[in-house]
Amino acid sequence: MIDSLYAIVDAEVADRPLELTFEALNAGCAMVQLRAKRLDDVAFLKIAQRVRSACAHADVPFIVNDRADIARVVRADGLHLGQDDLSIEDARRVVGNMQVGVSTHNLEQAATADAEGADLIAFGPVFATKTKENPDPVVGLQALEEVCQTVSRPVVAIGGITPGNAGKALRAGARYVAVISALPRFLGDAS
């Protein structure tokens, strides 16, 4: 399951974001996304540079959440956008040809992201989550399966993913499971 783990390191939530990144990389995660919703630009850039370096050394794709400018400056492998962020087209003007993922919360949003050229489609919250402020309604496994069968791009299941339910999301068709708060539990299971 670790090879399907999309590790999201939230620099504002994790006690030691760099250590958590190293643990995820050592465990064999599929990719690492750095998230920092309120961190100032300089602090975000410094952490992004270090995480980028670690990911490059481990040959694991590094994704920046929301910030096309930071993604471009650190030469990230990808950018992840929310529904209220730049459009895919506008983001590509900033980041060029790097991978762009998009968060979606219903079939229509997922189909739109697919049609607009998203490289990855995050879908959720599949289960109840406490990590996000004002989360969208839980979509459940049936909706996840429908999205996976409808879109042509790989789907990342997100929202409330734990070691106990990740297998269900993967069996529903998700290629990856994105994990934030349960990341230490996944890494504990990997050792």
Q: Is 46 tagged catalytic?
A: no
Of 4, 35, 52, 67, the catalytic one is: 35
Q: Which amino acid makes up residue 77?
A: D
Q: Is 53 tagged catalytic?
A: no
3: its two tokens: 């090879």
Alpha-carbon span 81 to 181, nearest angstrom: 19
Give 32-88 as a DSSP string.
Answer: EEEE-SS--HHHHHHHHHHHHHHHHHHT--EEEES-HHHHHHTT-SEEEE-TTS--H
Alpha-carbon span 130 to 155, nearest angstrom: 21
Q: What is the CA radius of gyration of the chain?
A: 15
Of 132, 153, 168, 175, the catalytic one is: 132
Q: How many Å separate Cα 137 from the centre of its chain?
A: 18
Number of neighbouring beta carbons within 10 Å of residue 57: 10
Alpha-carbon span 177 to 81, nearest angstrom: 17
Catalytic residue set: 35, 103, 132
